[in-house]
Amino acid sequence: MSIKGRTSSEETIVSDKEVSYQGNKMKYNEWGQKVTGWSTINIYEWALLEKEEQTLTLAEWREKKIEEENQNS
């Protein structure tokens, strides 16, 4: 996962709440704030996740998964 437009922002997902960035575990928003230098960040709009040969924001992935679950219900 990375932050839009930030080439050195790649991190490793540790759990549904934490990532590992430069050897430190932190919450998603903390990582986004550290990478951008911003005091706040909407992580769902700025974090990019590459999966299944697609790169989408967390918001787009979330929407996609909700749609898939609704179709399977």
Q: What's the pTM?
A: 0.85
Boundaries of domain holding 16:
2-72
pLDDT at 51: 84
Q: What CA–CA distances, in Å, run from 5 to 35, 68, 73?
A: 10, 29, 37
The per-residue pLDDT for range 5-25, each reduced to its tens digit, is 998 899 999 999 999 999 999
The phi, psi pair for 72, rounded to 5°, reads: -85, -5
The per-residue pLDDT for range 32-68, each reduced to its tens digit, is 999 999 999 999 999 999 888 899 999 999 999 999 9
Q: 21 or 73: which carries more pLDDT confidence?
A: 21
How many residues does this entry show for the chain?
A: 73
pLDDT at 30: 98
The tokens describing 20, both together, are: 């590992």
Give all strands of the β-sheet with 47-51 in edge-to-edge order. Answer: 2-3, 47-51, 54-57
